[in-house]
Amino acid sequence: MNLPAELRHRWGIADGGDIAIIDMGDAALIIPGGMDAARAELRRVLADGAYGAGLAAIDDPDLAV
């Protein structure tokens, strides 16, 4: 799989590196750092309340917490 050079440079994987690809059904979520980094980021977001704040900022009552 090829990623655009701009993304590889921004994510620090221009010379290779781990990524995680999560199948979302209609889309694929690409996370630099691999699955361990993805899990750590998810734990951080859920622990500090950022997830709920992010959902509340979306103008969709079905997603609001």
HSE-up (13 A, CA, CB side) for residue 10: 6
* Residue-range definition of the domain harbouring residue 52: 5-57
pTM over the 0.75 mark: no
Give dist(CA 40, CA 37) in Å, integer. 5
Amino acid at 24: M
* Residue 18 backbone phi and psi in degrees, to 5: -80, 140
Would you say residue 50 lies in a domain? Answer: yes
Q: Encode pLDDT of 26-62 as tens digits.
A: 888 888 888 998 888 888 877 877 777 776 777 766 6
Would you say residue 9 lies in a domain? Answer: yes
Number of structural domains (the chain) is: 1
User: Residue 64 has what pLDDT?
Assistant: 55
Would you say residue 52 lies in a domain? Answer: yes
Would you say residue 63 lies in a domain? Answer: no
Would you say residue 41 lies in a domain? Answer: yes
Give dist(CA 30, CA 64) in Å, integer. 25
Closest CA to 7 of 52, 38, 19: 19
Would you say residue 10 lies in a domain? Answer: yes
